[in-house]
Structure 1
Amino acid sequence: MLDPIDKFRGMKWRGEKITALTAYDYPTARLLDESGIDIILVGDSVGMVVLGYQDTTRVTLEEMLHHTRAAARGVKQAFLVADMPIHSYDTPAQAVETARQFVDVGAQAVKLEGGVSHIQQIEAITRAGIPFMAHIGMLPQHVREEGGYKVKGRIQSEAEALIADARAVEKAGAFSVVLEIVVPDIAKQITNAIGIPTIGIGSGEHCDGQILVTHDLIGLFPWFTPKFVSPEARVADEIRRAARAFIERTRAGGRI
């Protein structure tokens, strides 16, 4: 059987797009797995779309391990990656310990936010034999310091830093890199400059693959939808419709 990491690199060179979506529980993970998705990410976006936090900065390691454990039970074919939450990788030693905890609950790889700034942590994880997915561009765990979710790569110095980040994480052993809200032309440059796959989110069509938060894709979090998302379903509307129908039928004395 082909190693998943070799598979993704091969897909890049053949021009086959890599698909990735998030899951935080057993049924969602199982449904995505049965749909043929390549990568399932247990993202710290769970904080916003499941736990009701304002952003991802309040998500704890315990919460992420809980959701990773649940999602892992539903995955048979897809490659399962887990997000390392804020302050769970402040040092290389802590990063390795955290990564091992995720592997213990069923993750096949881990992801943390940062490029050159976190090379020591990334190298420690890959030296420990744990597959690693990088994440550069807009870093949601830094949203408070940045004052919002901002497009990256608009100015030359920022673009150069992103390319340097991408090359650094590749050299450190990452098998792929997420590019979040990066100017499409810069995302294309990065994709062409490195040998590992780029997985875009809000970064244009020239990445080697795409990832979305499943709740955004299926319209399950109607109170906010990123500008770059075109929902494929309106699940929130269906939930409301079903609930109202149940309420009406129950109050009318109908059979449940």
Structure 2
Amino acid sequence: MIRFLAIVLISQSICAVGQSSQLARYQTKFENDVVAVYGVNLQAHASVPAFQSARDTFWVALTDSSLSFTRQQGKTDIRWQAGDTRFFPSFETNVLSNRGTAEFRGVMIALKPRSLISGACGCAENTARAICGCKGATHLEPLWALSLGEVTLAGTSLAAGESFRAAALRDDMLLVAVTDLDLTDLGSQDSESGERPVLHLKSGDAAWIPGGRHQFKNLDSAAVRFVTFEF
């Protein structure tokens, strides 16, 4: 009888793991010595342990969603729109739950160096309130920017054929696509071919762009959105 119960419990555990892997999935999108980027798909009403919780993390929503983060000091409920971005300090999140009726798709960016954001979060204006999770925060605007410690974040929306007004000197940056996008960089060109680089990304993909002069232009026939993290 004891042996039978053990077999049943093992079978149930295997089944639960299988169901969990179907309901939630982390997928590596990009990694270097500064960041590790993961795509997250979470079915309606499903939960998953917070991956890489030992590091400071940013979350970028790709879909409208209602989520719950179980944290050290309790539970935080968030209503997200696509493009919303949120910062969580290391060791602060344990479980992510989808409270909505549709699949959640998002991107998690784990910062490898320590103390890049240490003590930098504040609640002075709406962009900071939204990203730092302050009381009274609303959704982020289509265009926004915020410096947190040694990281500068920016959310950008470009209409079809639209570009930045001028080239600007930028630090090394991670670019996360909120929508599918095709971008060219009017501020740089390939040293061998002389052609301007073109970036093709699907929603949730990420690319590392070396520092230099950059002026992005949308090559798509529809508006595109992306979030950048400069280091």
Normalised by the length of structure 1, the TM-score is 0.29
Larger relative contact order (CA 8 Å, sep ≥ 6): 2
Bigger helix fraction? 1
Normalised by the length of structure 2, the TM-score is 0.31
**The structure with more radius of gyration:** 2
